[in-house]
Amino acid sequence: MTTWEKTDFEKLQSDAKRRRRLGRVGLYIAASLFAFLAAFPFGWALITMFKQSNDLYVKDNNPFWFNEPPTGEHVGFLFSGTNYLTFVRNTVIVGLAVTAITLALSLPVAYALARLRLRWGERLGIAIFLVYLIPPTLLFIPMTRVVNVLGLQESLLSLLLVYPTITIPISSWLLMGFFKGIPMDIEEQAMVDGQSRIGAITKVVLPLMFPGIVAVIVFAFTLSTHEFIYALSFNKGSATKTIATGVPTELVRGDVFFWQSLQAAVIMIAVPIAFIFNAFLDKFIKGFTLGAVKG
Amino acid sequence: MSPAKAPPRRRYLADNPRFLAALFMSPAVTYIIALVGFPFVLAIVYAFTDITTGNPELEFVGFETFRRVLADPIFREALGNTFWFALIANLLVVVLAKALALVLIQDFKGKRIVRFLVLLPWVAPVSLATITWLWTLDSIFSPIDWVLRQLGLITENMYWLGRPGLAMTSVIAVHTWRIVPLAAVIMMAGLISIPSEINDAAAVDGAGPWRKQFQITVPLMAPIIAVAVLFGMILTISDMSVVYVLTRGGPTNSTQVLSTWAFFKGIEGGALGQGAAVALFLLPVLVGITAVILRMARRREVL
Amino acid sequence: MAVVEVRGLKKHFGEVAAVDGVDLRSEEGEFLVLLGPSGCGKTTLLRMIAGLEHPTEGDILLGGENVTGLPPRARRIAMVFQSYALYPHMTVARNIEFPLKAQGIEAAERSKKVQWAAELFGIDSLLHRRPRQLSGGERQRVALARALVREPTVFLLDEPLSNLDAKLRASARDDLLEFQRRIGITTLYVTHDQVEAMGMGDRIAVMDRGKIRQLGTPEEVYHHPVDTFVAGFLGSPPMNLLIGPDFLFGFRPEQLLPEGISRDDGPRISLTFHVNRVEYLGSERYLYGHIQGFEANKIIAMLPGTVTLPLTADTDHRFSVAEAQIRYFAKDGGDKIPPQPLPL
C-alpha cells in the first residue's frame, strides 16, 4: 500500500501525544463531574447541619458559607429532642437479624440450584427471580392485614418477618453465581476424603464462599436499611420506627421542618454505609460477574 | 462368594442429592410461598371486593372496584406517569452509567474518593437521600436557585417542586441520580468480563475509541446492560418513597405514580380494595418490561 | 532496510524491568522467533512493537520510521493473539471485514478483500459462521485472515499455537510457515517452546529477564550458545554441564557416544560414564548417570535407536565426546570462554 510512505510520522506522533494528554485531562474532568453531581446534595447537607437557623432561613444569605458561626445545636437536637438513637438501634437490630435469616435461607437454596441437578431447577431459579418482581407496593396492603392479624403490628418482629421476602430472592441469585464459580473438584475431593456431602459443603465450600457471603451481608443489610413502605405501614409508633421512616416523619412536625437536624441524620447514616460499600465494591462486582454474566 | 449386601440407605442420607435438595430448598420456598404467595393472592382477592378499613368484610363485588379505579382520572395520570418516569429516567441512567463505568474502570489519582462520592446516592436510604433533595429543591431556600439568582439568570425562584412540569423533572432527576451508581457498578462487572485480548485486537485492527465502543464493547456487554436496565426499571416502577417524600404526588397529582396512588388510596384513604386494585396494575407493567428486556438480551447472547 | 527495528527499548512496571534494554533488527521477510521462559519479557517486547504498551525508554522503528508512541492503528501491523481474539458477536466475514471498516474502505472494495483473504486460507465456506461454531484450527485461520486483510508490513504472533492440541499443532505450524513464505511478510513470533522455535525460525532471539541473550540462526544458538542460559534452554534434554577446576564445560546429550562408535568430527576425549537408568523410547535411548570424576553433575546421553549396543544400568561404560563439540563457560556469569585444558 502506498499510503505508508505518504504518512507524516512526526505529525502523527505529536497528534498521538496530544490526544493521550487530552484523554487524561478528559478523564479527570469526567470523574470530577460525576463526583460533584453525585455528592453535591450531601455536601450541602453537610454544611446545612451546622448552620444557625437565623443564618439558614434568610433567603439571600450565601447558602455555602457560614454567615453566622457554625453550631452543633441541631445535631445535638437530633439526639436529645427526637428518638433518633432509637431509630438507629431499631435499624441495626432489624438489619442484623434480617441478614442472618437471609443467609440461613438463601445459602441452601443457592447451593441446591447451582449444584444439585434438579428437574425443575432451571425453572425454580427463574421463579425465584420473578418473586423479586412482585413489589412491596403491591403486597403491603394485604401484608398489613396479615401483620395485624398476627398481632405483630407496632413491633420490630413484623419487619423481621417480612423483610426477607425482599432480600432472599436477590441474595439467592447472587449466591448462585458465587457457587457456580467454585469448581466441583473441591467438593468431590472432600467426599473422596471421607466427608458426607453436607460435610463437604460446610467444611470446604462455605469457606471459599466468603466473598459471596460478604457481598450478601452488605446487600441484605442495605436493603433492610432502605426499606420504607412496610416500615411505614406496620409501625406507626415512634418507638418502633426505623431510620428510613422515623427521620422523615418525626423531624417534620406539621409544617415545620427541622432541616438542620434532618440533614445531620442523613449525613451520619449515608457516609459510613458508603464507606463500607466502597471497601467491598470489588467483591460485589466479582459476584455480579459470576451471577449475571455466566448464570 | 456371596453377593455383597447393599449399604443401608439411611446412613448415607447426608449424601443423597434428592434428600439434600428437598432439605435445602424447603425453608426458603415455604417462606416465600407463605409470605409472598399468600399475600399476593390476598391482594387479588381484595381487588375484587369492596374492603375498606372502616368495613373490613370481604364482600365480593366483581369488577366494580376495578371499574371505579379505572374511571378515576388521577389513576390514568398515575399510570402514564409511572411509565414515562421509568422510561426517561432509565434511558438517562444507561447513558450516564455507561460513561461512569468507563471512568471508574481506569486508574487515576483520587479514584477511591471519587468512587466513595459516587456511591452515596445509591447507598443512602431512599427516603433520606430524597430528603436532601427536598431541601436542595426547596421553594424558598434552594441553593440552586440562589446560585442562579446570583448569576443573574433568574429573578424569582424556580419552584422546582411546586410547578407540575418542573416537579416531574425533579422526580425523574432524583430517580436517575439514585440509580446511576448501581447501574454503573453492574456495568463495570460487564466491562471487566470482556477479555482484554479482544480490546487489544480491536486496537490493532485500527478501531478508534468510538468504533470500539459501539461495535465491540457495547454489543459484548449487551446482556449486562440488560440486567442493569432491568434492575433500574424495577426500582423506579416499584418505588414509592421518592415521590412520597418529594412531592406527595403533587402538585395537583401531576407526579402521582401507581405505587403512591395505591398507598394514598389504600392506607391513607382506607379504601383497601381500591388500593390493591391500583397496585395490581404494577404487575403487568413489570412483567411486560422484564419480558421485553430479557428477550432483547437473549437475542444478543453470544458468549 | 530493516522492517522492524528496536533501539535501547526498556519497559518498567514499577520496580520491575520487564524489558531491560533490547536492540533488535529484523531482516526483510524473515521469520524471527522471540524465545524464552515465561516472564522473560518476550510478550512485553512484542506488545510494545505493536503499540499496545508504551515503552519507558527507547525507540521503535517500523519501515525506517519512528513509531514510538503511536497507537497500533497507525503502525500497519497485524497481530494474532494466543486466544485468537475473534469478535464473538460477529460472523467470520464481519470479523475479517472489521479492520477494513476502520480504515474507511468502501463496501464493494471490502467484500472483495474479505473474499480474497478467506480464499487464501481456505475458509470462504465459513464466512457466515460465528466463532463459537468453529474448531481451533479454523479459528486460527480466521485470525490470520483478519490480520492479513489489511496487507500489513509486519506480522506479530503471540504464542498462537499453544491453545491447539498436540496433533493439530504440527499441521498448523506447517500451514503458518508455508503461508509466511508465500507472502514473504516479516514476522515476529513469540514462543516458550524451543522445539517450535528451532523448527520455525530463520533466526531466534533467546531472551531472559528482559534482555536478549543471543540472536542467531537455529544452528548458531544451538551449537554455539553464548552463555549457559542459552545452552540450557535450547535442546531437549538440555546441554550437559560439568563443573571444572575454575570453569564450566558441556556437551549435548547426542554428542556423548559409546566408545567405538565414532563420528567424523575430529579427535575424541574418552570418559567413564556410570549409567544409573536407561529409558527406551523406541526412536531413542536416554541414559541417565554421571561421569567418573564429576559425580555431582547429572549427565544424560541420547543414543539414536539405530545404535543397538546393549547398555545396562548400574554399570560403568566407556564413552567419548568429540573435542570440537565441547563448549566452555565461565563459572561466574556463565558466558562463553575459549577452550580450556580439561581434567580428563
| pLDDT, tens digit (0-9, with 9 covering 90-100), for C86-133 | 888 889 999 999 988 888 888 899 999 999 989 888 898 999 999 889
Smallest CA-to-CA distance from B275 within B84, B124, B106, B68 is with B68
Q: Given CB atoms, is A33 within the 8 Å cutoff of chain B?
A: no
Domains of chain C plus CATH, in order, are 4-223 (3.40.50.300), 240-330 (2.40.50.140)
CB C189 within 8 A of CB C27: no
User: In whole angstroms, what is the distance from residue A241 CA to residue B155 CA?
Assistant: 42
Question: Hey, what long-range contacts does C235-238 have (CB within 8 A, 24 or more apart)?
Answer: C235/C194, C236/C194, C236/C195, C237/C286, C237/C300, C237/C302
What pLDDT, on the 0 to 100 scale, is given for residue A34?
93
Asked whether residue B303 carries a pLDDT value surpassing 60, the answer given is no
Among the partner residues C79, C82, C88, nearest to B204 by beta-carbon distance: C79
Across C261-273, average pLDDT: 82
Query: How many other CB atoms are found less than 10 A from the CB of residue C185?
Result: 21
Q: Is B28's CB within 8 Å of A41's CB?
A: no
Asked whether residue C184 carries a pLDDT value surpassing 80, the answer given is yes
Ranking A186-190, B80-84, B174-178, C176-180 by mean pLDDT, the lowest is A186-190
The confidence band for A291, taking pLDDT boundaries of 50, 70 and 90, is low
Q: Is B189's CB within 8 Å of A117's CB?
A: no
What pLDDT, on the 0 to 100 scale, is given for residue B9?
55
Could you read off the pLDDT of A33-54 as tens digits, one per residue?
999 999 999 988 888 888 888 7
What are the start-end ranges of the E strands in chain C?
A: 4-13, 16-25, 31-35, 57-62, 65-66, 77-80, 154-158, 186-191, 203-208, 211-216, 240-243, 247-251, 257-258, 268-280, 284-291, 294-304, 315-322, 327-330
Ranking A162-176, A248-262, B223-237, B271-285 by mean pLDDT, the lowest is A248-262
Among the partner residues B28, B106, B117, nearest to A109 by beta-carbon distance: B28
pTM (whole model) above 0.90:
no
Q: Is A59's CB within 8 Å of B141's CB?
A: yes
What pLDDT, on the 0 to 100 scale, is given for residue B13?
67
Among the partner residues A105, A133, A269, nearest to B287 by beta-carbon distance: A133
Among the partner residues C63, C74, C151, nearest to A12 by beta-carbon distance: C74
Report the Cα C112 to chain-centroid distance in Å.
35
H or E element in which residue B38 lies: helix B38-47
The confidence band for A142, taking pLDDT boundaries of 50, 70 and 90, is confident
Chain C closest CA to B216's CA: distance in Å? 8
Q: Is B205's CB within 8 Å of C99's CB?
A: yes
Asked whether residue B302 carries a pLDDT value surpassing 60, the answer given is no
User: In whole angstroms, what is the distance from residue A163 CA to residue A227 CA?
Assistant: 8
CATH superfamily for domain B73-299: MetI-like (1.10.3720.10)
User: In whole angstroms, what is the distance from residue C226 CA to residue C207 CA?
Assistant: 12
Contacts of residue B285, defined as CB under 8 A and 6 or more positions apart, other chains included, come to B82, B83, B237, B258
HSE of B253, CA atoms in CB hemisphere, 13 A: 15
Residue spans per domain, chain B:
73-299
Across B47-66, average pLDDT: 77
Could you read off the pLDDT of C207-217 as tens digits, one per residue?
999 999 999 99
Could you read off the pLDDT of B228-262 as tens digits, one per residue?
888 888 889 888 889 988 888 878 888 889 889 98
Chain B closest CA to C143's CA: distance in Å? 10
Asked whether residue B227 carries a pLDDT value surpassing 90, the answer given is no
CB A42 within 8 A of CB B132: yes
H or E element in which residue A252 lies: strand A252-253
Could you read off the pLDDT of B179-201 as tens digits, one per residue?
999 899 889 888 888 888 999 99
- Arithmetic mean of pLDDT over chain A: 81
More confident residue, B302 or C146: C146
DSSP A7: -
The confidence band for A116, taking pLDDT boundaries of 50, 70 and 90, is confident
Query: How many other CB atoms are found less than 10 A from the CB of residue B135?
Result: 21
What pLDDT, on the 0 to 100 scale, is given for residue A19?
81
Could you read off the pLDDT of B38-48 as tens digits, one per residue?
888 888 888 88
What pLDDT, on the 0 to 100 scale, is given for residue A284?
66
- Residue C211 falls in which region: left (phi positive, over 0), alpha (psi -120 to 50) or beta: beta
Across B211-231, average pLDDT: 87
What pLDDT, on the 0 to 100 scale, is given for residue C187?
94
Alpha helices by DSSP H, listed for chain A, are 3-6, 9-48, 53-56, 73-80, 84-115, 121-133, 136-150, 156-162, 164-180, 184-192, 197-200, 206-208, 210-226, 229-234, 243-250, 259-288
User: In whole angstroms, what is the distance from residue B287 CA to residue A130 CA?
Assistant: 9
What pLDDT, on the 0 to 100 scale, is given for residue B7?
54
- Per-state percent for chain B, helix, strand, coil, to nearest 5: 75, 0, 25
Q: Given CB atoms, is A1 within the 8 Å cutoff of chain C?
A: yes
The C-alpha cell that represents C58 in the structure block: 527507547
Contacts of residue B186, defined as CB under 8 A and 6 or more positions apart, other chains included, come to A288, A292, B97, B224, B227, B228, B231
% of chain B exceeding 70 in pLDDT = 92
What pLDDT, on the 0 to 100 scale, is given for residue A192?
76
Could you read off the pLDDT of B146-183 as tens digits, one per residue?
888 888 887 777 888 888 888 999 999 999 999 999 89
Could you read off the pLDDT of A117-141 as tens digits, one per residue?
666 666 777 777 778 778 888 888 8
What pLDDT, on the 0 to 100 scale, is given for residue C168?
82
What pLDDT, on the 0 to 100 scale, is given for residue B266?
82
What pLDDT, on the 0 to 100 scale, is given for residue A295?
38
State ipTM: 0.81
CB A136 within 8 A of CB A230: yes
The C-alpha cell that represents B103 in the structure block: 471512568
More confident residue, C289 or C167: C289
Asked whether residue C253 carries a pLDDT value surpassing 70, the answer given is yes
What pLDDT, on the 0 to 100 scale, is given for residue C1?
60
User: In whole angstroms, what is the distance from residue C236 CA to residue C246 CA?
Assistant: 27
What pLDDT, on the 0 to 100 scale, is given for residue A288?
60
User: In whole angstroms, what is the distance from residue A37 CA to residue B174 CA?
Assistant: 11
User: In whole angstroms, what is the distance from residue C205 CA to residue C208 CA?
Assistant: 10
- Arithmetic mean of pLDDT over chain B: 84
Asked whether residue A171 carries a pLDDT value surpassing 50, the answer given is yes
Smallest CA-to-CA distance from C142 within C94, C183, C100 is with C94
Among the partner residues C66, C71, C151, nearest to A9 by beta-carbon distance: C66
The confidence band for A97, taking pLDDT boundaries of 50, 70 and 90, is very high
- Residue A187 falls in which region: left (phi positive, over 0), alpha (psi -120 to 50) or beta: alpha
Q: Is B125's CB within 8 Å of A225's CB?
A: yes
Asked whether residue C199 carries a pLDDT value surpassing 50, the answer given is yes
The confidence band for A1, taking pLDDT boundaries of 50, 70 and 90, is very low
% of chain C exceeding 70 in pLDDT = 99
User: In whole angstroms, what is the distance from residue B186 CA to residue B297 CA?
Assistant: 15
The confidence band for B52, taking pLDDT boundaries of 50, 70 and 90, is confident
CB A234 within 8 A of CB A154: yes
Burial (0-12, 13-18, 19+ Cβ within 10 Å), B148: middle
* Interstrand relation of C257-258 and C315-322 (parallel, antiparallel or unpaired): antiparallel
Burial (0-12, 13-18, 19+ Cβ within 10 Å), A149: exposed
> Side chain identity at A76, as an amino acid letter?
G
Across A160-177, average pLDDT: 88
Distances (CA, A) of B266 to A205, B47, B254: 47, 11, 19
Asked whether residue A4 carries a pLDDT value surpassing 60, the answer given is no
Strand partners, C212: C207
* Chain A residues in contact with B282 (beta carbon < 8 A): 135, 137-138
Could you read off the pLDDT of C5-24 as tens digits, one per residue?
999 999 998 888 999 999 99
User: In whole angstroms, what is the distance from residue A129 CA to residue B227 CA?
Assistant: 12
Asked whether residue B5 carries a pLDDT value surpassing 70, the answer given is no
More confident residue, A56 or B275: B275
Q: Given CB atoms, is C65 within the 8 Å cutoff of chain A?
A: yes
Q: Given CB atoms, is B200 within the 8 Å cutoff of chain C?
A: yes
Q: Given CB atoms, is B17 within the 8 Å cutoff of chain A?
A: yes
Residue-wise DSSP of C231-264: HHHSTTTTPEEEE-SSEEEEE-GGG-EETT---S
The confidence band for A2, taking pLDDT boundaries of 50, 70 and 90, is very low
B-facing residues of A in 133-152 (CB < 8 A) are 133-146
